[in-house]
Structures are given as C-alpha cells and as structure tokens.
Amino acid sequence: MTKLLEIRDLHTHFFTRDGIAKAVDGVSLSLERGQILGLVGESGSGKSVTGFSILGLVDAPGRVVSGQVLFDGTDLIAGGERLLRTLRGKRIAMIFQDPMMTLNPVLRIDTQMIETVRAHEDVSRDEALRRSREALVSVGISSPDERLETYPHQFSGGMRQRVAIAIALLHKPDLIIADEPTTALDVTIQAQILSEVQALCANSGTALIWITHDLAVVSGLADHLAVMYAGRIIEEGPTRDVIAQPMHPYTKGLIESVPRGKKHGALLSQIKGMTPSLLRLPSGCKFRPRCPRATAACEIEPALDVMDQGRRVRCVHPHTENYPEVLAK
Amino acid sequence: MTSTTTPEPQTPEPQTPEASDPVRIDSPVMRVVKQFVEDPVAVFGLVLFIAIAFVAIAAPWLAPQNPYDLAQLDIMDGGLPPGGTSFSGQVYWLGTDQQGRDMISAIMYGLRVSLLVASVSLGLAITIGTIVGVTAAYFGGRLDSLIMRVVDLQLSFPAILIALILLALLGRGVEKVILALVIVQWAYYARTVRSSAIVERRKDYIDAAKCLALTNRRIMFRHLLPNCVPPLIVVATVQIAQAIALEATLSFLGVGVPITEPSLGLLIANGYDYLLSGRYWISMFPGVALVLTIIAINLVGDRLRDVLNPRLQK
Amino acid sequence: MIVYLVRRFGQSLLAVVAMAVLVFMGVYAIGNPVDVLISPEASQADIAAATARLGLDKPLWQQFGIFVINAFQGDLGTSFVYGRPALDIILERLPATFELAMVALFLSVGIGVPLGVWAGMRPESIAGRTIMAGSILGFSLPNFWQGMLLILVFAVLLGWLPAGGRGQTTEFLGMQVSFLTLDGLSHLILPAINLALFKMSLLIRLTRANTREVCLQDYVKFARAKGLSGRRVVLVHILKNIMIPVVTIIGLELGSMLAFAIVTETVFAWPGMGKLLIDSINLLDRPVIVAYLMLTVLIIVMINFMVDVIYSFLDPRIRLSEMKG
C-alpha cells in the first residue's frame, strides 16, 4: 500500500531583493495513514514553509523550486493549482497558528463553513448547514445554531480555534496540517485542544502533521518526530527514541532547554547563538557555529545518515555514546 | 570527538541592514537622506523641483522679457506659434500670446506667483495647524474634542468648495487667495500634528518633564513637537502640491489671482479661449509647467512617505 | 445600532446648523447684507421693502431667526439676474449636475476598483506597475487641465466628440437626462471622464493598498486552504473586506465630486449648478451663491450620514458592538 504522504527532496526558495532564501532545502519526509508527525524547529527553520509547500500555499516571493510531494501516490507539485484546489480542505486540511486571524472578520461563521462544504460537494445549503452544525458539536461547541449566526470577533481565541478545527474536519480529510495551532492560546485551552485533536484524529484515522517549536507539546502527541534546522531535516525518528536519546547536538540542546522541574534551582541549559539568517548560512553543517561539538570535519555538509531503529541524523559527530543501551532497552 | 574550536565567530543576526554594522550608527536625518536617494525617480523629482523653484525665484533675471512691462510688448508679435520670429528678429521658442507676450517669460513669472502663493499659505497653515494640534493634544479633554470637532467638520467639506465660496465673498487678490488656502489647509496639519502628539503625550517622559516643572510651552514645543515632524513633512509635500493645483484651479475659474499678477492657472485660462481655434500653445505650455511642478512634488512626496513611515521601518 | 444612528444623525444636524451660522455670519455680519442680498440696481423703495422683508433692521439674532425660517421654507433669496427665487434656479440645474456626477461615479468605481484589486494582487507585475504609474498621473494633473487635454485631443484634433454643452436631452424619471440619446451621450462622455479620472486614481490607489494588506492576512490563506475557488476568494473574502474603506471613500468623494463638477462644468460648458455658481460669482448674483452653498452643504451632510450608515452595516464589528452599547 502506498504511503499517505511522501515528500521527496523538496526545495522551496524565497526570491528576495537581498538574495535567495532557501527556506526548505532538500526535505524528504513520509507519513502513514493515521500517523501523527511532529515537525519541530525554531522560527525560520522552514517547518511552516514545508507545511504550506504541501498544499501549494507558499506566498510570493516564495515558490517550490523542485521536489515531489506524493499524496496517495499522486505528485501534487506536478498536479498544479487545479489538482491542489480539489484536495485542499477536502482530503488535506490545514489549521493555522493564530485563530484571531484565520477567520474572515466580515463573514459569519455559517458562511465560512457552508462555503467550505460546497466548494467540494454539490449539496444543498441546508445539508451543508447540517454538516457544519455537526462539525461544531464534534469539537465541543455547545448551542451550535446560535454560534453559526455570529461573527468571529464574538468568539474567544480558543473558540475560534475550535471553529477552525471544525472547518478542517468538515470533509473528514486524510491529512490535517496543523501549523502551531495552540501557540497563541492559554495553557489550559492548549491542553484541551491538544487532547481533542488527538481523539478526533484517532477516531477518524486522520493523519496529522503538527508543526511546532515546542518539543514539550509535541512529545506527548506525535508518533514520529522530525527536527528541522535552516531548511533541512537534521534528525528524525520515533518520538520516544528521539526524546530519550537525541543524537544531533541541536536536538539535544532543544530537549535540555525544556524546563522539567526535577532539579529545582538548576540552571536551564541553552543553545548559544541565534538562528542564522537564511541568506547568510555558513558552509558545511549549518549548525556548526553554534555547536559545542563542531570540528574542522563539519565544514563539509553531512548527509542525513540512516541509523538503526528507523532513525536518521545529519551530523558528523552524533551523540551515539549510549546508543546500544537505549536499543537494548 | 568533541572539539571546542569554532570555525567562524558567529555574530548576532541583525534584522535590518542599518544595524548590521554596530560601529556606524547614522543620525535619523542621515538615514532618511540615504534611503531617499536610493530611489532614482524620487531624486529626479527633487532635482526637477529645485530647478523649477530656481527658475521661479530668478525669473526677473532669467526671463527674456518682462511680460508685464507693456513697453516691451509689440502687438504685431501677437499669436506667434512656437519657434516663431518677431519683426525685430527675436525667436519665441514657445510662441507668444495675443498681446505679443513671450510665453517663456510669462510662464517664468507665472511660476513665481504660483509658488509664492503656495509656499506662503503652506507656511502660515503649518504654523497655525501645528499650534492648534499640539495644544489640543497637550491639554486634551474638552478643548481637544472641541478643536477636533471643528477640524472634522471642516474636512468633511471639499476644499475647493470652501475656497471658492470664500473668494466669491472676498473678491480677487493674491492675499485673498493665500487666506483662502490657509483656511482650507490648516485643518490637515492640525489633525496630523494632534494625532502624533497625542501618542507621544501618553509616554512617561512627558510626565517626567512635567515633574521637573517645565513650562507647558516648553514641553509642548521642545518635547512634543519634534515627534510630529516626520508625518508633518509627508502631509506638507502632499498639501503643497494640492495648494498649487487648487490655486491654479481657482485662478482658472476666475476667482483667484488678479490679471495684473497672473499665475499659471490664470495663463491657462487666458489661453483657453484660443484652444479651440488651434492656438494650443498659449494655454498648453503653462499647463505643462504646472503639471511638471506638481508631478515633481508628488514624486518626492511618495518617496518621503515610504522613508518616513514608521510602520515600514520595522 | 439605533443609538449610533441617532447620535450620528444629531451630529449631521449640528453640521448643517454650524454651516448655516457660518453662512449667515459671512453674509449678514461681515458684509453689508443690503449689498449682498439686494440688487445694486434696486431703487430706494425696493431696498426699503427688501430690508423690511428680510428683517435687516432688526437685531442680529432675530435676523438669524428670519434667515432660518426663510431657509426652511425654501426661500434663500431672489436672484438679481433672473429675478426669480434663487433655489428654483439651482434646482432646475440640479439634474444636469446629478447626471454628470452619477455617471462619473459609476465610471470611477467600475474601472477604479477592479484595476486597484488587480494591481494589489500582482503589485510586481508590469500591468500592476502601469496601473500605478497611470494613477499617479491622474492624481497629479489638475482637474481642469485634464479636461482641456480631453477637449484638445478628442474635440479639436480628432473631432470625434463635441467640446461642450449638453446635447439633446430626454425625460427620464421626471428629469431631463442626456445619456439616453446618442447626441446627449456624446456630449456626456468627455465631462464624465474628466470628473471621474481624479476619483478613479484615488480609488485605484486606495483599493490597491487595501488589497495588498488583505491579501497578506491569514484568513485569505485559510480561505484558499479550504479549497475555495480563486474567484470566490477574491470576490467574497477579499472584496468584502476592502469594501469597507472603499465605500467610505466613495461616499466622501461623492460630495467632493459635486464640488469638482464646478470645474468640469466650467471647462465643458455643461449647464449644471456648478457652472451656474461660477456664472453667478462673475455676475455678483449673491443670493444664488448663498442658495447654492446651503443646498450643497445639505447634500454633502446627507451623503456623509448615509455613508456612515452603510459603513456600519458593512462592518459587523461596528454594527454589533454599537448594538450592545
């Protein structure tokens, strides 16, 4: 059986006045049906652009330069806008970061939901309305009839994000791409939404790409993790293994900078330096200038090496010291 | 396996090119100048405007003749087309009008009147508008809402209508046109100054200045006002182009400057009657001069708006 | 909502009253109303009669009362030139100006908004840049000068269209209009374009700036991510958002169109109320000027009020917040 999604050597570049920013620079990923993938990275690492590239929603001056996005065996890049439009919202849905901005402020909720249903299926307005109501109930919105007749600004941020999720669920898609959907919300709301999305995906067998900068959020959710840095994937593997034994110094740094509260008063470690500008990347390994392990050997860009247990890492000096023990566990 | 050598020292990544070199920090004025000259079209506009202003100021020395000294005019030279030669062998490159007036000279003197009216009214309107705007922002409360009501009320009526009515009641005259332009324009400046000053007013340093028992006047003009300058400049470039166009329109309609001191607008009106009979140059060339002036100012203004806009500077 | 409308209506009323006071002051207090309102050729007896009728011998506040009462009854003085009520003369000319302004508005919105959206969606394209350059030109050229160029090119050089006048008119909805006959239409085209060009440039710039801003919003991307057609994204999601500022500007510019019609009508000898105003100024027919002013102020205030009403209907954020408050 073909994989649900397979990205092969994707390159998405932004052609700015100051030069070409390679936001996505040779990313390959794959996803099974019903699987949850956590795509992790700092802002500017190319994780969101990867998500947008799948649906062909990269804004000018950016565009997908090369690569393949095979969805159920069909190449979306080659398929172009016409093919993409039939899939968007229908088989691949998207949830955005800021719920305050994703709903059109001058259109009522019912308008925005009904148009989504009718964009893909030739159904009556009443039928579309009925399905919208159902979707709202499924994301835990009470008195949906009332809610449908209101405007986005009458909702709280958490409620708006639920509406956005309901819109994403309208066609029971095979894949949802969620671009930091809980970042802008309060912590309590964040947890609610997280568990609801998890339950919804498990019930309907929907695969999920959860894009985030927050390892803590995604570690409890995702089956699989991919860590991005400067437009590339630098480490990938099953979530538990990656968290337990990060191999790339960057991943290790990310994990160690998450507060865990075990050692009260202990200083948090941090990754020194700042995210590099995509226009002025160093040669060789892109993490080299910030890396505690960097040597002269790092001046040649390492490949994404395949390790045991379905893991991949792009590093000359990976943390493999205790690796056998972890495997034996 | 591990190594402590870092092959390249990593400098913090700046957001803007200006900050990339921490040693060289430009003053705000230098930054604006530098960004302004990056746009060749705007520089062209500025050069063109300076040239036009120079011609207007130096008209009495540059012009081939004094177009209002009747002794220098010869009715026999009337209505010569561009490039035509008079009886005395003089070439009129832009032709002559019905009275035999050299169009080049008439345009130079017309520019003088147009720019004089526009710049004097600009100066007066800015002064009045600034004082009113800063006062409204500084004292706030009832005074502020009263002033802004008046401003909004005035701005809800078209400028040309107000000016036209004023001049219809007052009669023709250079000083009356200036008065009308000031009355029409002060409200724009008052609103601009007030909206930037009110933002500044809420900041802590104004309270600090008050604690130091500085006089109101000093706080208003030394502390509040400098923050209003960038938007004021942008509005002023737009408004001076508008003032020139408005004066020309009023004079064209016959309610502006008197025939003894014709501006470009009046020259165009005088030639308008001959337009249909094919003597296009009498009104066409003053019109070209007018349009070039306005375009030059608008090109400068467009660029200034981009350079001085704090929203685009982030 | 109703509270908002009532308050807004009160403000409009206040504006009319304020303008009435200013006009009254201009005519009665600053100048000598006998000079302003009574024909210079009037005999001594006529002056005395008119003085009594207008109450010019009474104190100022009573004069103002008479002015207001007369104005409410439609009596804004008698034209020196025509010897008839000034308001009647203006109302006779109103349809011509109304027709011209409406056609010009239609042109500037019908052409300006689509061009602005186009330029806003593709700001870097050649078409987008050309539209912008054209709008700067339309912005920079003074209105009367554009009109002269139109006459020079289309009437004098090409001879396709008449240089002035209104042409043949027919009755339509009780008004004399030009646009229903070929002759009338040929007279209407140039002045309408002239009056429309400036507003069109303004609308292009405004629509383009707003389109660019809206296009960057997440909700536009989200709409595309929902699989909506490009047409629906533009016509519903983008257009509905930019309509709010655009409608405001259109409304406000309708008022200034009446004012600019003065210029266009003068250039093209179009027999509307703007041309009448200029003629009256030249003939010192002051009652007509006063009547024109009062009528125009009333129209502009009414337009501004209607714009606010439409605006509050278009933006649910205003409509609903005012409902609560």
Going by C-alpha positions, the residue among A32, A2, A39 that lies closest to residue A205 is A32
pLDDT confidence of B121, banded at 50, 70, 90?
Answer: very high
Interface contact C217, partner A, CB < 8 A: yes
Cα(A206)–Cα(A199) distance, integer angstroms: 10
Residue B221 lies in a domain: yes
Given a cut of 60, whether residue B5 has pLDDT beyond it is: no
Could you report the per-residue pLDDT of C179-216, keeping only the tens digit for each? 767 777 778 888 999 989 888 888 888 888 888 888 88
Considering the domain architecture, whether residues A141 and A247 belong to the same structural domain is answered as no
Looking up residue B192, the CATH number of its domain turns out to be 1.10.3720.10
Interface contact C225, partner A, CB < 8 A: yes
Q: How many domains does chain B have?
A: 1
Interface contact C32, partner B, CB < 8 A: no
HEC per residue, chain C? CHHHHHHHHHHHHHHHHHHHHHHHHHHHHHCCHHHHHCCCCCCHHHHHHHHHHHCCCCCHHHHHHHHHHHHHCCCCCECCCCCCEHHHHHHHHHHHHHHHHHHHHHHHHHHHHHHHHHHHHCCCCHHHHHHHHHHHHHHHCCHHHHHHHHHHHHHHHCCCCCCCCCCCCEEECCEEECCCCHHHHHHHHHHHHHHHHHHHHHHHHHHHHHHHHHHCCHHHHHHHHCCCCHHHHHHHHHHHHHHHHHHHHHHHHHHHHHHHHHHHHHHHCCCCHHHHHHHHHHHCCHHHHHHHHHHHHHHHHHHHHHHHHHHHHHCHHHHHHHHHC
Interface contact C258, partner B, CB < 8 A: yes
Residues of chain B with pLDDT > 90: what percent? 4
Given a cut of 60, whether residue B17 has pLDDT beyond it is: no
Cα(C178)–Cα(C314) distance, integer angstroms: 33
Residue B84 lies in a domain: no
**Of the segments B67-81, B259-273, C72-86, which one has the largest average pLDDT value?**
B259-273
Whether the Cβ atoms of residue C116 and residue C208 lie closer than 8 Å to each other: yes
In this structure, the number of other CB atoms found within 10 A of the CB of residue B66 comes to 16
| Per-residue confidence (pLDDT) for residue B18, from 0 to 100 | 40
Interface contact B23, partner C, CB < 8 A: no
Looking up residue A58, the CATH number of its domain turns out to be 3.40.50.300
Of B3, B9, B10, nearest to A295 by CB-CB distance is B3
- The whole domain housing B150 covers 35-60+116-312
Considering the domain architecture, whether residues A87 and A104 belong to the same structural domain is answered as no
| Per-residue confidence (pLDDT) for residue B84, from 0 to 100 | 67
Helix (H) or strand (E) holding B290: helix B281-308
Residue A265 lies in a domain: no
Residue range C86-279 forms a domain whose CATH class is mainly alpha
Whether the Cβ atoms of residue C263 and residue C144 lie closer than 8 Å to each other: yes
* Single-letter amino acid, residue B277: S
| Residue numbers in A near B4 (CB within 8 A) | 292
> Cα distance from C236 to chain B (closest Cα, Å)?
28
Quote the mean pLDDT of chain B: 77
Sequence ranges of the domains in chain C: 1-54+62-81+283-325, 86-279
Given a cut of 50, whether residue A329 has pLDDT beyond it is: no
> Cα distance from A250 to chain C (closest Cα, Å)?
31
Going by C-alpha positions, the residue among B294, B298, B305, B237 that lies closest to residue B41 is B298
Considering the domain architecture, whether residues A233 and A305 belong to the same structural domain is answered as yes
CB < 8 Å from C in window 274-303 of B:
275-276, 278, 280, 283-284, 287, 290-291, 294-295, 298-299, 302
Domain boundary among A170, A193, A220: A170
Cα(C253)–Cα(C259) distance, integer angstroms: 10
Residue B308 lies in a domain: yes
Of A289, A293, A317, nearest to B8 by CB-CB distance is A289
- Note the ipTM here: 0.82
Considering the domain architecture, whether residues A210 and A83 belong to the same structural domain is answered as yes
Q: List the chains bordering chain B where 3 or more Cβ pairs fall under 8 Å.
A: A, C
More confident residue, B18 or C54: C54
Residue A186 lies in a domain: no
Interface contact B6, partner A, CB < 8 A: yes
How far from each other are the two terminal CA atoms of chain B, in whole angstroms?
A: 43
Of B1, B6, B17, nearest to A289 by CB-CB distance is B6
- The whole domain housing A133 covers 98-170
Given a cut of 60, whether residue C324 has pLDDT beyond it is: no
Q: Kindly determine whether residue C317 and residue A153, on different chains, have CB atoms separated by under 8 Å.
A: yes
Whether the Cβ atoms of residue B269 and residue B254 lie closer than 8 Å to each other: yes
Interface contact B4, partner A, CB < 8 A: yes
> Cα distance from C229 to chain B (closest Cα, Å)?
32
- The rounded radius of gyration (Å) of the Cα atoms in chain C is 24
Distances (CA, A) of C236 to A163, A274, C224: 19, 42, 12
Given a cut of 70, whether residue A50 has pLDDT beyond it is: yes
> Cα distance from C248 to chain A (closest Cα, Å)?
16
Whether the Cβ atoms of residue A41 and residue A212 lie closer than 8 Å to each other: no
By C-alpha distance, the chain B residue nearest A277 is B13
Considering the domain architecture, whether residues A17 and A83 belong to the same structural domain is answered as yes
By C-alpha distance, the chain A residue nearest C238 is A104
Location of structure tokens 């629906």 = C232
> Cα distance from B17 to chain A (closest Cα, Å)?
10
Residues B230-250: what's their mean pLDDT?
A: 86
